[in-house]
Structure 1
Amino acid sequence: MDQADRSFPYPLGVSLREGRANVAVFSSTAERVECCVFDEDGTEHRTALTERTGHVFHALVDGVGPGTRYALRVHGAWDTAAGLRHNGQKLLLDPHARAVSGGYNWGQAVFGHDMNDPGQRDDTDGAGSTPLCVVTGGDFDWGDDAAPRTPLDRTVVYEVHVKGFTQLHPDVPEEIRGTYAGLGHPAAIRHLTDLGVTAVELLPVHQFVQDSHLAEKGLRNYWGYNSIGFLAPHGEYSSSGDTGGQVDEFKAMVKALHAAGLEVILDVVFNHTAEGNHLGPTLSLKGIDNAAYYRLVEGDEEHYFDTTGTGNSLNVSHPAALGLIMDSLRYWVTEMHVDGFRFDLATTLTRQGGDASLHSAFTDLIAQDPVLAPVKMIAEPWDTAGYQVGGFPADWSEWNGKFRDDVRGFWSGQDSVLGTLSQRVLGSPDVYESDRRSPVAGIGFVTAHDGFTLHDLVSYNAKHNSANGEDNNDGESDNKSFNNGAEGPTDDPAVNERRARAARNFLGTLLLSAGVPMLLGGDEMGRTQGGNNNAYCQDNEISWFQWDAVDEDLLDFTRRLIALRREHPALRPRWFRQAPGDDAVEWVRVLRSDGEEFTDEDWDNADARTITFLLGHADGDAFALLLNAAANGVEFTVPDAPHQEWELAAASDPEQQVEGTVSTLLVRDSSFTLLQSRRG
């Protein structure tokens, strides 16, 4: 038989040939698999995948080309006690689909445990009640696109939502606001480049599903942590529609961002899917090979092992699940040109037999993959069953939750936090140095999508989540926040001055610390969510950027801090600092406010609120960072200037002055001052 007339078991999914396609689907438990192609009027044409190699069903399907809509029907046993949930009545999404069109009609035909049982239903899913996969072409013109490959020590990450960033942007054409095209528009890119960030970290853009319980409340899943298509860009973020145009629109966005020197990092959700627990819907993996793709409870295969809080966890001990993850990662790098990934609840992906493992199959596969080696890998190093900051391989970076907690604790007046605060400013050597990992292993952040914005962190003592419809019971209650004298909006100038200073304190600590800083999109302009610290379901003005209410002073302050970091190597060390010396390339001294070295007794002082960092680099200017979290002004003894006399580089107190030679400097209550000694 001529090779052109044969089907192949790899690659999985749909691979185009002339006038037809090779379709391949993995299932170790199915009895029969059909590829269902739909005409424009919804007429369904079924082709059985009659060839079988190992556990892969495959066949050639005629009449398939770019734009063709299709789905799968997987026939086999329904035996939930044995972990089997096959149901040939249901249309299923191809796990390797590269585009998805339409959404789910959350009626009895799709959702609910009883309705998943073929013995209790007489309906058949059709093209009107479920989304369909869309075949895509590969003729996008990348031109001279090149990955920026920004070194980690020069990276400043901007966490942002594709829709929320431009949905209200007045300089982005209305027809593309809130879309991939909107993010790639010159007005949107100009804000990012003027700010000085080097990478956008996009909240989930894999195809995801709206939640039925939110729809019942008139709400929507805004964040998108409810994935169902690991290779498909979410169709709702496309101004080109969801019939395949979303793929080229995403690519055009990446190309435009790259041309501006900006990297694109995807927040990916491989730890679970939208199919939920045993009561959840059957949308794709559950009906294809339930036990291969999900971890089932040993001895009770009807139920799902869950370390994500969403009902299920992907079975990363199985080659099928691991293969799907790896296929997705390689696709987004090679075909979509993204520059890195932030793995949501990454600890779940390292659990093969239950316990998290540094050398899990997941991390080992990524380590040896030449396609993935050059891109940035960032872990959210925890899940509902464990906290693993510092527990990932040396070539990974991690969201450093300790940075967030200790910096918030310091500036909110928490006792006994000065010692750990000093570690965070220095790049967390207490976490990373023993494993020979550098400061850039830590992604420092004060705020993220999950929690208060910076404006709300300094404006609210408590969460205000009533709009979420859960009686304010959702969201974190311990935020280490401080309203500075009034809860929420106020006209009191004294309160607003304290809030402005507090916001600058957090930005200064974040952007002047070693490691990789991550800025929550909108923090630089004073974005508020009205005290909502769990706005996952607020696809509205609560979450969208308010471009008509920009805090220009805060924006300018943030730009200046990022520029300082970019221009001066002393503020972005590549390794943990040495003490000053003739052979030290980068060095640090940590001093008390009186200029003396700290003693063990000083570090143990619960009331200590002040510290000085003297930062230098052999090839650049030196800096003195003076932090005062006390409720009163403190006179600091200023270290001798290593080069020219000290001058003021930045301060959270706009009234701070530095004139001439200074040996002491009064730093007002709850503020920081950064001094600069120019090399010449």
Structure 2
Amino acid sequence: MTSLGATVTREGIRFAAWSSSARRIWVSIFDDEGTREIDRLELQPEGEGVHALFVAGLAAGTRYGFRADGDYAPEIGLWFDPDKLLIDPYAVEIDRPYVYDIRLAARRGEGTDTAPLLPKAIAATLPQPVPALPPLFQPGGLIYEVPVRAFTMLHPAIAKPQRGTLAALAHPAIVEHLKKLGVGAVELMPVTASIDERHLPPLGLRNAWGYNPVTFMALDPRLAPGGLAELRQTVAALREAGIGVILDLVFNHTGESDRLGPTLSLRGLDSRTYYRHRPDGSLINDTGTGNTVACDHPVVREMVLDTLRHFVCHAGVDGFRFDLAPILGRVDGAFDAAAPLLMAIRNDPAVGDRALIAEPWDIGPDGYQLGNFPPPFLEWNDRYRDDIRRFWRGDSGMVGALATRLAGSSDVFAKPGQQTSRSVNFIAAHDGMTLADMVAYERKHNEANGEQNRDGHDDNLSWNNGVEGETGDRAIVTARFDDRCALLATLFASRGTIMLTAGDEFGRTQKGNNNAYAQDNEITWLDWAGRDQALEQYAVLLAAMRRSVPALSDTRFLTGEPPPGSEKADAVWLTETGTPLDEAGWHDPARRRLVLMLGGDDRRLAAVINGDRRACMFTLPERDGFRWEPAIETPGGAAGISRPVPGRTVIFMIEHEAGQAQIKENPSGK
């Protein structure tokens, strides 16, 4: 396809846009402040839907937008209106953030020129591509999910003007924290420019997460005031520290929303191509946000691929997480694991070797597709999340599910020819209860969202040890701390890739708000000064242990059978008495205790899990010439098996040759 967007040359700028049904398309040129339209020039049809014009004398930095004319019949998906300024779908930079205004949704003929209400695209000369280096992140590592703005807004070591930006992620204090945790890659929640949903401004709220884009390449000026260069520099700084960057991208919908939403870009250029519609012309809503991007259309498919190439080639990112990813695999509305876009992503020379992570569900027909994406896509595993929560909540009959999740979720991912887990194991993410709130709030508390606590999930598989939200009682505080430690320990002991949401390692709380997308304030801003340093240090020790014991980060499924080249089973499941768990034990609904023992040919590691509230003596099998020692210090001094293991606890024991001193990794990561 002919290059779209604004292509800057020495002689001028070529503007190009695509539309299958617009009769006329113009480019509006604005002054250096982006406030006054100084020229409006008509693009010329070039065939196959491309409209283009070369304008001599213009240079990089020119501010512009498109306008389109054609039939106006919203009831059948036609929204052409020359009064609507349209952001270039291929814009790589805009001059200011989006601000929702009801006039952006005005009907044609109501006399509203929206140019004063919108940012302007900036024609840019892209930098030379970064060196083509292999991605740092590999499956089995630790992904650290980061809400860019909330992550550093309260960080005392970062200068206030830099807080909340991409550049702040490269600050030495942040890099040190990431290295201590052994982070393989930070997964940045959306950093492309987004707009608030129309119901938020009247409530005095704004979208704090960014999952409401307008176009796909331009960064949000609030998060990246330095534009693409800021992202590029941050990626380079983190890479130098051995940390990759994964971008969370939203290709499933845009902020143009439903039929009452604003006309900002794709809708005004060719709604019927860029969005999926029913035969009667109404918008399909497989996303819950009002519209669904038509990822099965060749023009859209190429736009998505161009976006991914842009961030790999010009920013050097390690990979991508795809929000509501079944949308990318829908062909004529039905999910297909061999959909052209999914195949094109994994086969693309620039993109195919990157980390590719699917959120494997949307709300459309057959929208739950966990385990059904093609390799090498990794997938967020909500069954892992739910089963681990159920076990530690105290639900009966969960020991088998616990073992399956620890072993890599072969019931989900062991498809023919696949020997490794594609699971992204997580217990909490940006959406839902935080890890700390999970053990302190049995019910959601979303009152601050202005929807009378009706929004967000009602079934959180959460619990509280005492009075809801109570923080003063010592016994309650201790019980919650123990549960948080147990959840973290389970995560770090699991086969497959693991994901930790920023701040969960030190007890971040949203006061029970499980849908804090609209809280750009202290509800979501990480409280660095008040963090639980004991919990944080335990997370650091867990991370050091996972790095030092290769069996923990191995992505091959645990089978209980010898792996190739070995005579010993890859895993042994034991009771608290040290005997193998038999069939009756697996099906005992009251069983709350389990030992996972890894490694048979070298030193073994045992994860001793006591999910009961009662303390219990555990026994581990002995070998001549070896002795069991604590792998890490357990909070509360409950390490070891020479005394009862307290209830609601995971301890790790590791074998050492008799007479050898234990070698401990420096948890600082230095």
CA-to-partner distance for each residue in 1:214-250, whole Å, 9 max, x for gaps?
1111001001110112011111113x4xxxx322112
Give the distance between the partners of 2:306 and 2:507, measured in 1 at CA: 39
CA-to-partner distance for each residue in 1:186-238, whole Å, 9 max, x for gaps?
22222111222111001111111122211111001001110112011111113
Query: Cα distance 1:643–1:109, how it changes in 2: closer, same or farther (>3 A)?
Result: farther
Give the distance between the partners of 1:55 and 1:666, measured in 2 at CA: 73
Aligned match of 2:665: none
Whether contact under 8 Å (1:456, 1:529) holds in the other structure is yes
Whether contact under 8 Å (1:653, 1:672) holds in the other structure is no
Whether contact under 8 Å (2:436, 2:507) holds in the other structure is yes
Give the distance between the partners of 1:642 and 1:550, measured in 2 at CA: 44
Aligned match of 1:5: none
Give the distance between the partners of 1:324 and 1:219, measured in 2 at CA: 31
Question: Aligned residues, how many?
Answer: 652
Query: Cα distance 1:107–1:513, how it changes in 2: closer, same or farther (>3 A)?
Result: closer
Is 1:678 matched with 2:656?
A: yes
Aligned match of 1:169: 155
Query: Cα distance 1:584–1:54, how it changes in 2: closer, same or farther (>3 A)?
Result: farther
Aligned match of 1:576: 557
Whether contact under 8 Å (2:445, 2:514) holds in the other structure is yes
Report matched runs for 1:412-561 at 5 Å.
412-561=393-542
CA-to-partner distance for each residue in 1:43-69, whole Å, 9 max, x for gaps?
331121114121111120234322211
Report matched runs for 1:62-211 at 5 Å.
62-104=56-98, 106-111=100-105, 115-116=106-107, 118-119=108-109, 121-126=110-115, 128-139=116-127, 146=133, 148-153=135-140, 155-211=141-197
CA-to-partner distance for each residue in 1:495-535, whole Å, 9 max, x for gaps?
11111110000000001111111001001111111111111
Return the letter of the residue paired with 2:484. Answer: A
Is 1:667 matched with 2:645?
A: yes
CA-CA distance at 1:653 after TM superposition: 5.0
CA-to-partner distance for each residue in 1:593-631, whole Å, 9 max, x for gaps?
23233333322222111111110164x531111111112
Report matched runs for 1:291-306 at 5 Å.
291-298=272-279, 300-301=280-281, 303-306=282-285
CA-to-partner distance for each residue in 1:562-621, whole Å, 9 max, x for gaps?
111111112122312354657258710112223233333322222111111110164x53
Give the distance between the partners of 2:128 and 2:349, measured in 1 at CA: 24
Give the distance between the partners of 1:642 and 1:623, measured in 2 at CA: 16
Is 1:47 matched with 2:41?
A: yes
Give the distance between the partners of 1:80 and 1:33, measured in 2 at CA: 19
Give the distance between the partners of 1:81 and 1:550, measured in 2 at CA: 52
CA-CA distance at 1:338 after TM superposition: 0.9
- Give the unaligned 5+ runs of structure 2: 661-670
CA-to-partner distance for each residue in 1:105-138, whole Å, 9 max, x for gaps?
5444312xxx23x24x123222x21111112222
Report matched runs for 1:381-400 at 5 Å.
381-385=360-364, 386-400=367-381
Whether contact under 8 Å (2:434, 2:510) holds in the other structure is yes
TM-score of the superposed pair, with normalisation by structure 1: 0.92
CA-CA distance at 1:400 after TM superposition: 0.6
Give the distance between the partners of 1:250 and 1:176, measured in 2 at CA: 14
CA-CA distance at 1:19 after TM superposition: 3.6
Give the distance between the partners of 1:617 and 1:383, measured in 2 at CA: 42
Return the letter of the residue paired with 1:60. Answer: F
Give the distance between the partners of 1:427 and 1:108, measured in 2 at CA: 48
Is 1:602 matched with 2:602?
A: no
Return the letter of the residue paired with 1:335. Answer: H
Return the letter of the residue paired with 1:86. Answer: F
Is 1:649 matched with 2:635?
A: no
Aligned match of 1:590: 573
Whether contact under 8 Å (2:43, 2:53) holds in the other structure is yes
Aligned match of 2:664: none
C-alpha RMSD of matched pairs (Å): 2.0
Aligned match of 2:663: none
**Of 363, 388, 412, which residue of structure 2 is paired with 1:407?**
388
Give the distance between the partners of 1:353 and 1:612, measured in 2 at CA: 48
Give the distance between the partners of 1:506 and 1:409, measured in 2 at CA: 11
Give the distance between the partners of 1:553 and 1:528, measured in 2 at CA: 16
Return the letter of the residue paired with 1:636. Answer: F
Whether contact under 8 Å (1:643, 1:677) holds in the other structure is no
**Of 37, 59, 62, which residue of structure 1 is paired with 2:29?**
37
Give the distance between the partners of 2:633 and 2:451, measured in 1 at CA: 41
SS in 2 for 1:607: coil
Aligned match of 1:625: 607
Give the distance between the partners of 2:406 and 2:191, measured in 1 at CA: 32
Query: Cα distance 1:600–1:279, how it changes in 2: closer, same or farther (>3 A)?
Result: same
Give the distance between the partners of 1:73 and 1:203, measured in 2 at CA: 31
Give the distance between the partners of 1:464 and 1:642, measured in 2 at CA: 55
Return the letter of the residue paired with 1:330. Answer: R
Is 1:25 matched with 2:12?
A: no
Return the letter of the residue paired with 2:162. Answer: I
Aligned match of 1:352: 331
Whether contact under 8 Å (1:578, 1:584) holds in the other structure is no
Whether contact under 8 Å (2:136, 2:242) holds in the other structure is no
Aligned match of 2:305: 326
Give the distance between the partners of 1:262 and 1:475, measured in 2 at CA: 33
Aligned match of 1:636: 618
CA-CA distance at 1:449 after TM superposition: 0.3
Give the distance between the partners of 1:108 and 1:390, measured in 2 at CA: 41
CA-CA distance at 1:651 after TM superposition: 6.3
Q: Judge which range, 597-606 or 529-538, deviates more.
A: 597-606
TM-score of the superposed pair, with normalisation by structure 2: 0.94
Return the letter of the residue paired with 1:68. Answer: T
Whether contact under 8 Å (1:653, 1:668) holds in the other structure is no
Give the distance between the partners of 1:108 and 1:394, measured in 2 at CA: 44
Whether contact under 8 Å (2:129, 2:313) holds in the other structure is no
CA-CA distance at 1:435 after TM superposition: 3.4
Whether contact under 8 Å (1:511, 1:562) holds in the other structure is yes
Is 1:309 matched with 2:296?
A: no
Give the distance between the partners of 1:174 and 1:310, measured in 2 at CA: 34
Return the letter of the residue paired with 1:204. Answer: P
Return the letter of the residue paired with 1:37. Answer: I
Return the letter of the residue paired with 2:92. Answer: R
Report matched runs for 1:223-234 at 5 Å.
223-234=209-220
Give the distance between the partners of 2:212 and 2:332, measured in 1 at CA: 24
SS in 1 for 2:214: strand
Aligned match of 2:667: none
CA-to-partner distance for each residue in 1:67-94, whole Å, 9 max, x for gaps?
2111000111112343211111110000
Whether contact under 8 Å (1:198, 1:262) holds in the other structure is yes
Whether contact under 8 Å (1:181, 1:249) holds in the other structure is yes
Identical columns (%):
37
Query: Cα distance 1:289–1:635, how it changes in 2: closer, same or farther (>3 A)?
Result: same
Aligned match of 1:6: none
- Give the unaligned 5+ runs of structure 1: 1-8
Report matched runs for 1:328-343 at 5 Å.
328-343=307-322
Give the distance between the partners of 2:102 and 2:181, measured in 1 at CA: 49
Whether contact under 8 Å (1:410, 1:421) holds in the other structure is yes
